[in-house]
Every structure is written in C-alpha cells, then in structure tokens.
C-alpha cells in the first residue's frame, strides 16, 4: 500500500537495498545509507548490514542468496 512505502534513493538502489531478507523484525541487507537505515528503524526494522559486495558483481544481494525450503505435501 502507498502509505507503507519507503523511498529508496538511487544510491541505495545501486547497492541493491531492496534485495534484502527480512526475518520478523530483522532486515538483512548489503549496505544502506544512514537515511534509509533510520527510515527502516522508524517502522520497526532492525537493519543488519552484511558485506555482500562480491555478490553485487554478479547482480545479486541478500535475497538472491536464500533458498526457501518447504515441506513436501504429505
């Protein structure tokens, strides 16, 4: 919804800030600007920055490093 959107600068977009993983109130990202980190904290996220620069070279970031596993149907 429009009221819940958080603006991401082109600088943060270039660092793949939207390619993140959230686990409950924690958000795992490459690197984000202090402004984005502050805005995310305002809405309840704890931002965890992880140096993923080598993965950025391949065109991915935190979300691209995940694999969702679900149990097979019984």
- CA 14 to CA 8: how far, in whole Å? 10
Structure letter (DSSP) for residue 15? T
Instruction: Annotate 16-65 with three-state secondary structure.
Output: CCCCCEEECCEEEECCCCHHHHHHHHHCCCEEEECCCHHHHHCCCCHHHH
Give pLDDT tens digits for 30-49.
Answer: 999 999 999 999 999 999 99
Q: Which of the two residues, 67 and 13, has the higher pLDDT score? A: 13
Percent of the chain with pLDDT over 90: 46
Domain ranges of the chain: 2-64
Q: Quick check: 20 and 61 in contact, CB under 8 A? A: yes
């Amino acid at each position: 919804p429009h009221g819940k959107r958080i603006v991401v600068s082109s600088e943060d977009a270039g660092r793949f800030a939207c390619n993140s993983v959230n686990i409950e109130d924690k958000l795992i990202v490459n690197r984000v600007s202090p402004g984005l980190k502050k805005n995310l904290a305002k809405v309840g996220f704890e931002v965890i920055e992880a140096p993923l620069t080598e993965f950025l070279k391949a065109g991915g970031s935190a979300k691209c490093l995940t694999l969702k596993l679900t149990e097979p149907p019984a």
